[in-house]
Amino acid sequence: MERQIGEKQQKEKIYKVPSSFLKHAHINLKQYKKLYRYSIKNPNKFWAQQAEKFINWFSPWKKISTGSLKKHNMRWFVGGKLNACYNCIDRHLETHRNVAAIIWESDNGNESRTISYGELHEKVSRFANVLKKQGVKKGDRVCIYLPMIPEIIIAMLACARIGAIHSVVFGGFSAESLCTRILDAGCRLLITADFGARGGQYIPSKKNADKAIAKCPKVKKVIVVKHTGHPITMHRKRDIWYHEAMSEVDAKCPAVKMDANDPLFILYTSGSTGKPKGILHTIGGYLVFVAMSFKYIFDYHAGDTYWCTADLGWITGHSYLLYGPLLNGGTTLLFEGVPNYPSFSRYWEIIDKHQVNIFYTAPTAIRALRHEGDDWVKKTSRKSLKLLGSVGEPINPDVWEWYYNVVGNKRCPIVDTWWQTETGGILITPLPGATPLKPGSAAWPFFGIVPEIINEKSKLVKDNQSGRLVLKQAWPGLMKTIYGDKKRFVKTYFKEVPGKYLTGDSAYRDKKGYFWIIGRNDDVIKVSGHRIGTGEVESALLSVPAVSEAAVVAVPHEIKGQSIFAYVVKKSGAKSDALKKTLNNRVRQKIGPIATLQDVQWVKALPKTRSGKIMRRILRKIAVNEFDDLGDTSTLANPSVVDDLIAERKKYSAKIIKR
Ligand code: 7RM
């Protein structure tokens, strides 16, 4: 695992901070160095200052922090009272009533809507009253399964306003995925829409929701947003139209006083096993961390229009589409559609149409658009842009250069931001006015963050040596727990390396202190930036009767970054071609289209250790036709399996080439 990184990295290009940027940046290099040192030496003082600066508290905290990473019981701003929705909306009203909070751009581009802070306040208050009328109380979990339309933000903020915990499920997830998440969180109310629109296609949100709820007896009410207007079935006793419910309540609803350590939301993310983890974030620490990181990392100034392309069903959408921008009184763009519809210019056209200044997207989208050539970009102006961001997976240096040169016209710094659902906000990133940029590196730790690279024995490794990325010091954005599974929380993140938070990523640091993220070292696959657990896919495959064993691994993919490669042992008599289709359908049905299999390889057996563990290390290599350096195979229960696997793979690859 520990390995020396070659000298090539030492010769990489460095991009200085553009002088135009230095003039207005919130933080320059000198300030970063000074404030970083202060933040890690005096974390309590530092975070108290940030909490006062960025958040409005109904009553002050009694202690800045308690507990430790060692005991995995950190609490921030203990005893403090606040409300997330109040901080996102109400406190800005005096100055921002007529300022755009949300700019919504529809899938087909025929429609856009601007919602001011004043209007948002009215709508959120109304919807909070709708929730109350349906019996939703402080601490209740509310499931939100909506497309990227303003109502998703309204619903999330309405929950926060009355102290309910939102659990947003990505609109692209299947009915089954939705069902497991509703059950795990114990939601009693679901908010959905008739249909979602993406790239000219319609997604049957309500139909999926109906299917999911059939197995969730606790869900008594479903609120349905009429979005596309296509016909759906409404269940008379259970389903309520959003627009009708909104017209029946008034627009006065006080924001509930919440404790800093009360939960704000649950968001499911994939781990090593089949069961997704309900990551639970609390109000005070999360808001402080997200508000201040947003301002400094994206160098947000009043009047800027900011666009994050992530779906609200992922953490990036929560932290840097909704909470970060609105906590700063900013204008956030919400786009319903996809980058390639109606044409590959769509993103750049939206940037021109709404004069976007800050643009935050994922490497998978950048790769896909780069693949189509420069003309789609060059025919747009993009003059409004001043900063670009990247998130979700490592960005390849060539792709970085394209983003910088072609999209940003060599004017805009790129912030390559490393973080996780669990961390709440960005932890490793350049600061645009401070950090000289190295393409492909997420650069330096953010304020209050102390990353380390350690080996298998938990010893620090030298510069340029890869190892496990851990975080040594607590910060306010860290999750509180895994909902309903404290044991798994402790085991996954804190057991192996006591006193530190284990990220599950491998990385190295170069001599200049730049961090280079290599990727996951657990069983998580990032397909187009979406986190998928091998266990989830394997469970789906094993649910097909003709399958006797299955193992999936990640293989590199030009656009998606990684894709899913499946090894399947089928029961005798099963027909290959038909089964392949069945397997793909089953995975899509159980998880969603994002988990589509790249390829299926039939095998006689899987390589296993004597204790029965599948040796994925070997499967990963064989999937990419690397047969020579398979590492230590002596612990295999049946070493001859490897020869069979290689032979099967060679035969299969030959067949593909012939086709
Ligand atoms: C924000 C998000 C987390 C995993 C993480 C990494 C990978 C995220 C970067 C990155 C390289 C980056 N949350 N990752 N950002 N790898 N460079 N800038 O993606 O919970 O869905 O995934 O994503 O492996 O552990 S997530």
Q: Indicate whether residue 520 lines ligand 1 (CB < 6 A).
A: yes
Domain count, the chain: 2
Q: How far apart are CA 313 and CA 195, in angstroms?
A: 16
pLDDT band at 11; cut points 50, 70, 90 = low
Q: Are 596 and 641 part of one and the same domain?
A: yes
| Residue pLDDT, tens place only, 418-456 | 999 999 999 999 999 999 999 999 999 999 999 999 999
Closest approach atom of ligand 1 to CA 422 = 20
Q: Indicate whether residue 531 lines ligand 1 (CB < 6 A).
A: yes
Q: Indicate whether residue 607 lines ligand 1 (CB < 6 A).
A: no
Strands (E), 233-317: 239-241, 258-259, 263-269, 277-282, 305-308
657 Cα distance to chain centroid: 36
End-to-end CA distance of the chain: 37
Give a yes or no: residue 359 inside a domain: yes
Q: How far apart are CA 465 and CA 518, in angstroms?
A: 11
Q: How far apart are CA 302 and CA 311, in angstroms?
A: 24
Distance 152 CA to ligand 1 centre (A): 24
Where does a domain end: 508, 540, 557? 508
Q: Indicate whether residue 311 lines ligand 1 (CB < 6 A).
A: no
- The answer to whether the beta carbons of residues 539 and 582 sit under 8 Å apart is no
Q: Are 583 and 498 part of one and the same domain?
A: no
**Which residue lies with its CA nearest to atom 23 of ligand 1?**
392
Q: Are 330 and 189 part of one and the same domain?
A: yes
Q: Are 304 and 163 part of one and the same domain?
A: yes
| Residue pLDDT, tens place only, 378-428 | 999 999 999 999 999 999 999 999 999 999 999 999 999 999 999 999 999
Strands (E), 260-343: 263-269, 277-282, 305-308, 331-335
Q: Indicate whether residue 420 lines ligand 1 (CB < 6 A).
A: yes
Six-digit token string for 156:
């999330």
Give a yes or no: residue 125 inside a domain: yes
Q: Are 37 and 72 part of one and the same domain?
A: yes
| Residue pLDDT, tens place only, 458-509 | 999 999 999 999 999 999 999 999 999 999 999 999 999 999 999 999 999 9
Closest approach atom of ligand 1 to CA 421 = 20
Range of the domain at 80: 19-205+217-245+259-508
Closest approach atom of ligand 1 to CA 390 = 18
Pairing of strands 358-361, 331-335: unpaired
Q: What's at 266, amino acid-wise?
A: I
Residue spans of alpha helices (H) in 186-268:
205-213, 242-247
Distance 138 CA to ligand 1 centre (A): 32
User: Is this model's pTM higher than 0.85 or not?
Assistant: yes
In degrees, rounded to 5, the angle at the alpha carbon of residue 91 between the alpha carbons of residues 145 and 324 is 50
Q: Indicate whether residue 269 lines ligand 1 (CB < 6 A).
A: yes
Helix (H), strand (E) counts: the chain: 22, 30
Q: Indicate whether residue 451 lines ligand 1 (CB < 6 A).
A: no
Q: How far apart are CA 529 and CA 116, in angstroms?
A: 31
Q: At 447, is the secondary structure helix, strand, or coil?
A: coil
Which pLDDT does position 1 carry in this prediction? 46
Q: Indicate whether residue 335 lines ligand 1 (CB < 6 A).
A: no
Give a yes or no: residue 145 inside a domain: yes
Question: Mean pLDDT over residues 49-58, rounded?
Answer: 98
Where does a domain end: 464, 479, 508? 508
Q: Are 445 and 554 part of one and the same domain?
A: no
Give a yes or no: residue 644 inside a domain: yes
Q: Are 292 and 385 part of one and the same domain?
A: yes
Q: Indicate whether residue 468 lines ligand 1 (CB < 6 A).
A: no
